[in-house]
Structure 1
Amino acid sequence: MTFENKLAFAQSQDQQDPLRHLREEFLFPKQNGAPFIYLCGNSLGLQPRTARNYVDQQLNNWENLAVEGWFEGETPWMYYHKELKSLMAHIVGAHPQEVCPMNTLTVNLHLLMVSFYRPTPGRFKIIMEAGAFPSDQYAMESQVRFHGYDPKDAIIEVAPRAGEATLRTEDILAVIAANSEQLALVLFGGINYFTGQWFDMPAITTAGHNAGAVVGFDLAHAAGNVPLQLHEWNIDFACWCSYKYQNAGPGGISGIFVHEKHFADTSLNRFAGWWGYQEQQRFKMEKGFMAEAGADGWQVSCTQVIPMALYHASLKIFEKAGFLGPLREKSLRLTAYLRYLIGEINSTLGFEQYKIITPSAATESGAQLSIIAKYNAREIFHALVANNILGDWREPDVIRLSPIPLYNSFEDVFLTAERLLHISKELITPKQ
C-alpha cells in the first residue's frame, strides 16, 4: 500500500475498514473533557462497553442464587470456565481442551514450570531472552534456586549482538544447539515487551526439541496481538495475561496452554488443588489427587468468576471480529502507517530524532512500535500525554505506541504523528 501523510487519506482508510464498527464496543478515557487517542493497549486494553453487563450478570446470580449459583442459573459457576475455552482456543491456535482460564500470569508460569522444568544433574539449564520482563526473570531465578542450582550457572540469556536492539533467530538457535547436552528448558517471551520483537516461535520450538529440551512461552504481549498456532507448532506449554491486547481488565485472569501430547504423562509433577481434580468426582472430597482431563487438570483453586466474566466480554468481541485473521490484517496496515509517519517526521526535522527498534517484517512484530527518542525523550512523552496521546514510557528513552485494531483508527495514527511533529518542533534543539 502507498501511504499519504494526509488526514483525508487516513479518513478514507477508516471508511473502507470493515472492522471500524468495533471501536464503538469500547470506552475511551478522557482528559479535560476530550477522549485520549489511546495507544497503550499493549499495557492495558480498554474496557469493553459490555463488561459491566457481564459482571452484573454474575453479581445478579450471586444476589439471587447465592451458593446455588455454582450449579444453577444460565451460567453455573462450576462450569463457567468452559464458556471461555473455545473462544480462547481461537486466540492462541489450540484445541479447547488444551487451554484454561485461571490464576494470574506469573502464578501460572510457576505452576507450569513445576511440571515442565525437571532438572537433573546432567540437564538443568534454561535458555531465555536477555531483557525479558522482570517477572519471568524472577520466576526462573526462584525456580532454579528451588531445585538447588545457582541461576548464574543454570540460566543462559541470549542477548542481541553489539550495536543491535533485537535478537537474530540464528543466534537463538545457535545457543540452543551449543547447550543441547545440558539443556532442560527453553522459555521465551512470544514478543519481547521492550522492543516489540516477535520471536520465531516455531523455529525455537523445533530447535529446543531437537536439543532434548521442553519449550514454553510467556505470551503476555503475543496473545490477542499476533496469530498463534500453539498446537500446530508443537509448543509444550504457554501462559498469558488477558488484560493487554485481550481487554479483560487490570490484573485480569490468565490463561494456560498445555499441549495434548502431555495429557497422559502421569510422571509430570504438579502443585495440585481440588479444582484440578476430576470434575465428576470432585465433590466426593476423597484423598489422592486425580487430574481432570486436559489443561483443566492444572487448575488449583476455585474458578474466578468475576475476572472470567470480564474476559468473556472481550472474547465475544474477538469472536464478532472473526478472531485474529481480520484483526491481524488491519493491525499490519495500522502499524505500517505509523512507521511511515514516523519516517515523515524525521524527514521534516532533517535528522533521525526517532528510531524504531521494533522489526519491520510482519513475521517479527505485532501492534507495538518501540521508538527511541534521540533528544528530550521524557519531555516529549509527557507532552504527548498532555496533548491527549496516551502511549507508555520505558527507561531510558523509549516511547511505546500500539495501534490496536479492535479500537484504533487510521485517523488516530495520523493525529498522533501530527501532534508528535508539533511537539518535536517545540522541544527539540538538535546538538550539532
Structure 2
Amino acid sequence: MTGLAVIISLVLMLPMVTLAARLVIDSLRRIRRQSRVVTSGARSASKEDGSFMAVLGSGGHTSEMLTILAAVLRDERSSRITRLQLVVADTDKGSISKASRLLEKANVEWYIIPRCREVGQSYLTTLFSTIKSFLSSLYMVWSSQPSLLLVNGPGTCVPVVLAVAVLQALGGSRCICSIIYVESVCRVETLSLTGLILYHLGLCDSLVVQWEPLVRTRRLSDGRVEIKDCCTILEQLATHAGSGMDDAEFVNWLDDNDPLKSLRDDFVFPKHPAGGDKSVVYFLGNSLGLMPRRSKEIVNREMDKWGSMAIEGHFQGELPWMPMDRYLLKAMADIVGAASVEEVALMNSLTVNLHLLLLRFYKPTKERFKLLCEGGCFPSDHYAFMSELELHGYRVEDALIELYPREGEHTLRTDDIIDAINKNKDCLSVVCLSGVQYYSGQYFDIEKITAVTQAVGAISLWDLAHAAGNLDLALHKWGVDGVPYHYLNSGAGGLGGLFLHQRHHSCNDGPERQAYLKGWWGHAESTRFEMTNKWEPEPGAAAMRLSNVPMLSAASMMGSLETFKKTNMTELRTKSIIMTGLLEHKLRALLADWPEEQHPFGIITPTDPGQRGAQLSLHFKAVPEKAPESNLTDFTLRVHRQLEDEGIITDYRNPNLIRVAPAPLYCRFGDVGRFCDELNRCLSKQ
C-alpha cells in the first residue's frame, strides 16, 4: 500500500472499525436478550440468536469489511456469534480466497447470489439483474434467518437489505434481523449511492460514518465517530507496522506513511542555535506559525507590483488589492465551517474584531447586563470585556462572571459551565469563551455551550485564536453568533478573521437593523465610490469591515491558505489527534520512571482527544532532588532554555508551564520522539 492508503484507509479507519465491531457485539447481545419463539407452519422452534451475516463486495469494500470482521472476532465476546454467514456475488472471484485467508479459524457459511449490476452495465439491464438478485436474496434470508446483517456499501448488499426489509414488513417472524450499515472510509463529504438508498429509505438500524462532514449534513444514528483511546489506535498501528509502540522504527513508519508529510516542505524553519544543518523541532505553532514559503513569494510579488503599478495595483495583477479578500474567503469559510463566504470576513486584528462584535451584540439592559468568560482568559479578551463594561457604566466586579476550575483541577467541566449559564440565565447578556483555552489547551464543547447560551436568551461569542486551523469547526451548524480569530501561519500581528452567522445578516440594515460600527469598506462595493454617505451594507459579515484589506497581510495569509487548500481539516485533525496522542503516551512513559510523588511535571490538558487540540500543557510541580535549582520557576525556565539550545522550540508561560504544540501541517512524528528524549535529558541534568 502507498503511504496515503495506509494512513487514510488504515489509521483513519480504525475508530470506525472499533465502533462497527462494538455495534455488532452489542446488537447480538440485545438480540440474545430479546430472543423469541417463532412458528413455521405446524412446527415451532427457538430462533438461533447469534447468526451474523455480512455482505462482501470486491476490492476496497472487501478489505474494509474483513478488517471489521477481524475486529469482531478478536473481541472476547465474539462467542455470541453462533453462525458466521458471508455473502458474495457470483462474479466475485477474489473475496472468498481473501476472506478464507483472514478468517481461516472461523467457521463460515458461504452464500452466493447473482450480482445486481456490473460496472458499465446499462440501467435497463440493471433492472432485470437486480430483480434476479433480490429474488435470490429473499430465499437466502428466508432460509438462513440471520439475527444481524452487516453491510458496507457494495451494490450486492442492496438486494440483501431489501430482502430483510420485505420479509420483516410481511410479518415474517423468521426474519427478526437488525441491520448495520458502515459507510466506506473513502466517503468524506457525501454518502455513496448505496448509503443514500439505505439512509433515505430508513432501512438500517445504525449507520456508521468515519468523517465529520457527513455528520454535519445528516442526522445519522450513532453516526459520529471520535477517537477516544489514542493508545489503542497506536497499538493497532504498531502491530500493522510490525514493531512495538515505543520502538523508533514505529515512529519512522508513521512518518514514512504520513500523507501530509510533503506539506512540511511548504514552510521555512528557523536555524538551529548550534548552526550547521541540524533540524529544528518547532512545537510553538499555537503562538506563531512558521512562515510559508509562498507567503514570502506573494508578499515580494505585491511589493514589486506596488513599485511598478502604484495605484493601479488595486485593479491589476494576479491579486488586485481592492477585492483582495475575495480570493481568501472560500478557504477561510472551509476552515471554520461557515455555510458560505458571506459568513466570514478578513479584517483588522483579533482584539479589534472582538470589540466590534461586543459593540454589536452586548446591549445591556437593567436585567441583562453580565458577561461570562473563563477565568484566566487571554489578557486581550479580558481587557476587551473590561472596556465594554466600563463604556456602558458597569464595574468589572459587578458585571463580569469569571469561571474557574474546581479546586485541585486545571480545566473547566462542561457541566459546570452549563450550570453557571443556567444559574445566571436572567442576567446574562453575552457568553464569550475561548474555543481552546490558551494556557491549559482545553477544547470547550462549542456546540453544547452555544445551545445552552442561546436557550437562556444570551448571545454566544467565541474567541477562536487557538482553534481556527487547529480543529475541525462547524460554526454555522453549531449556530455560533459571532467569532473573532487570527493568524493561521500568516505572521505576527497577521490579518484577523470574523464569523457572523447568517441569521444576523438581515440585521445589517432595514427595520431590524442592529447598531454596529461602520466603515467605508463595509459599504456595498457597487456604490462605494459614489461617496453618497447613504449606508448600503455589503452582504453578510463583510458589512462589518471598516477599511480596505491591508495588502501585505492579505498576501501573507494567501501563502498560508494555499497550503491549507492542499488538504482539509478532517485530515489535519486526524493526524493531530494521533500525533498528540503519541506525545502524551511518550511523556507518560517518561514520568513512569519517577516515583509519583516526585513527578517533575503533570499534563494538565485533558486526556480525552475530543477535549484538546494540538497542544499539551506541562505544568511543572517538583524540582528533582539532584537539580541545581531549589526554585521551581528557575528549574522550569532552565529546562525550557536547554530545550531551545537543542533546537526544540516550545513556549514558557507563567506560572511554571511549558506548552508543547505539534502542528500537523509541518511537524513530524519523529519530532515527538526527539522532544521527549531531549526533555528526559534536561530533567536528568545535574
Instruction: Classify the secondary structure of the residue corresponding to 1:349.
Output: coil
1:216 to 461, 471, 476: 461
Task: Indicate the residue corresponding to 1:108 in structure 2.
Answer: 353
Task: Indicate the residue corresponding to 2:666 in structure 1.
Answer: 407
Once residues 425 and 60 of structure 1 are traced to their aligned partners in structure 2, the CA distance between those partners, rounded to angstroms, is: 52
Is 2:501 aligned against 1:259?
A: yes
Please tell me the residue identity of whatever aligns with 1:77: W
For residues 174-227 of structure 1, give each alpha carbon's deviation from its aligned partner in whole angstroms, at most 9, with x where no partner exists: 110011111110111101000000001011100110110010100000000011
For residues 292-335 of structure 1, give each alpha carbon's deviation from its aligned partner in whole angstroms, at most 9, with x where no partner exists: 111111000121111011111111101102x2111111001110
2:404 to 156, 159, 166: 159
Please tell me the residue identity of whatever aligns with 2:566: K
Instruction: Classify the secondary structure of the residue corresponding to 1:231.
Output: helix
Once residues 441 and 450 of structure 2 are traced to their aligned partners in structure 1, the CA distance between those partners, rounded to angstroms, is: 20
Task: Indicate the residue corresponding to 2:316 in structure 1.
Answer: 72
For residues 353-385 of structure 1, give each alpha carbon's deviation from its aligned partner in whole angstroms, at most 9, with x where no partner exists: 221000011220000100112222221111111
Is 2:443 aligned against 1:180?
A: no
Please tell me the residue identity of whatever aligns with 2:505: F
Q: Following superposition of structure 1 onto structure 2, how do residues 241-390 of structure 1 map, counting pairs within 5 Å?
A: 241-242=486-487, 246-265=488-507, 266=509, 267-321=513-567, 323-351=568-596, 352-374=599-621, 375=623, 376-390=635-649
For residues 361-413 of structure 1, give each alpha carbon's deviation from its aligned partner in whole angstroms, at most 9, with x where no partner exists: 12200001001122222211111111111100011111100011000001100
2:336 to 82, 92, 96: 92
Once residues 425 and 268 of structure 1 are traced to their aligned partners in structure 2, the CA distance between those partners, rounded to angstroms, is: 60
The answer to whether the 8 Å contact 2:581/2:609 transfers is no
The answer to whether the 8 Å contact 1:86/1:96 transfers is yes
The answer to whether the 8 Å contact 2:463/2:485 transfers is yes
* Cα shift at 1:7: 2.1
The answer to whether the 8 Å contact 1:349/1:425 transfers is no
Is 2:634 aligned against 1:393?
A: no
* Cα shift at 1:57: 2.2
Once residues 319 and 654 of structure 2 are traced to their aligned partners in structure 1, the CA distance between those partners, rounded to angstroms, is: 44
Please tell me the residue identity of whatever aligns with 1:283: F
Q: Higher Cα Rg: structure 1 or 2?
A: 2
The answer to whether the 8 Å contact 2:437/2:466 transfers is yes
Please tell me the residue identity of whatever aligns with 2:320: P
2:363 to 95, 112, 118: 118
Instruction: Classify the secondary structure of the residue corresponding to 1:22.
Output: helix
Q: Give the root-mean-square deviation of aligned CA atoms.
A: 1.1
Task: Indicate the residue corresponding to 1:430 in structure 2.
Answer: none
Once residues 609 and 341 of structure 2 are traced to their aligned partners in structure 1, the CA distance between those partners, rounded to angstroms, is: 27
The answer to whether the 8 Å contact 1:5/1:414 transfers is no
The answer to whether the 8 Å contact 2:484/2:496 transfers is yes
Once residues 7 and 40 of structure 1 are traced to their aligned partners in structure 2, the CA distance between those partners, rounded to angstroms, is: 24
Once residues 505 and 450 of structure 2 are traced to their aligned partners in structure 1, the CA distance between those partners, rounded to angstroms, is: 19
Please tell me the residue identity of whatever aligns with 1:170: D
TM-score, length-scaled by structure 2: 0.61
Instruction: Judge which range, 41-50 or 284-293, deviates more.
Output: 284-293
* Cα shift at 1:61: 2.0
Q: Deviating runs (4+, > 4 A) in structure 1?
A: none
Once residues 57 and 96 of structure 1 are traced to their aligned partners in structure 2, the CA distance between those partners, rounded to angstroms, is: 26
The answer to whether the 8 Å contact 1:108/1:254 transfers is yes
Once residues 619 and 523 of structure 2 are traced to their aligned partners in structure 1, the CA distance between those partners, rounded to angstroms, is: 49
Please tell me the residue identity of whatever aligns with 1:109: L
Instruction: Classify the secondary structure of the residue corresponding to 1:40.
Output: coil
Once residues 607 and 345 of structure 2 are traced to their aligned partners in structure 1, the CA distance between those partners, rounded to angstroms, is: 33
Task: Indicate the residue corresponding to 2:38 in structure 1.
Answer: none
Higher relative contact order (CA 8 A, sep 6+): 1
Once residues 378 and 72 of structure 1 are traced to their aligned partners in structure 2, the CA distance between those partners, rounded to angstroms, is: 51
Task: Indicate the residue corresponding to 1:10 in structure 2.
Answer: 251
TM-score, length-scaled by structure 1: 0.96
The answer to whether the 8 Å contact 1:342/1:354 transfers is no
The answer to whether the 8 Å contact 1:356/1:369 transfers is yes
Instruction: Classify the secondary structure of the residue corresponding to 2:440.
Output: coil
Once residues 636 and 316 of structure 2 are traced to their aligned partners in structure 1, the CA distance between those partners, rounded to angstroms, is: 55
Please tell me the residue identity of whatever aligns with 1:341: K
Task: Indicate the residue corresponding to 1:424 in structure 2.
Answer: 683
The answer to whether the 8 Å contact 1:105/1:240 transfers is yes
Please tell me the residue identity of whatever aligns with 1:39: F
* Cα shift at 1:423: 1.3
Task: Indicate the residue corresponding to 2:279 in structure 1.
Answer: 35
Please tell me the residue identity of whatever aligns with 1:261: R
Once residues 130 and 364 of structure 1 are traced to their aligned partners in structure 2, the CA distance between those partners, rounded to angstroms, is: 18
Q: Could you list the runs of 5+ residues in structure 2 that have no partner in the other structure?
A: 1-233, 239-244, 624-634
Residue identity over aligned pairs, in percent, reads 39
Please tell me the residue identity of whatever aligns with 1:15: D
Once residues 420 and 5 of structure 1 are traced to their aligned partners in structure 2, the CA distance between those partners, rounded to angstroms, is: 16
Q: Could you list the runs of 5+ residues in structure 1 that have no partner in the other structure?
A: 428-432
Please tell me the residue identity of whatever aligns with 2:292: P
The answer to whether the 8 Å contact 1:29/1:36 transfers is yes
Once residues 516 and 642 of structure 2 are traced to their aligned partners in structure 1, the CA distance between those partners, rounded to angstroms, is: 49
* Cα shift at 1:348: 2.2
The answer to whether the 8 Å contact 1:369/1:401 transfers is yes
Once residues 11 and 370 of structure 1 are traced to their aligned partners in structure 2, the CA distance between those partners, rounded to angstroms, is: 25
Once residues 32 and 423 of structure 1 are traced to their aligned partners in structure 2, the CA distance between those partners, rounded to angstroms, is: 17
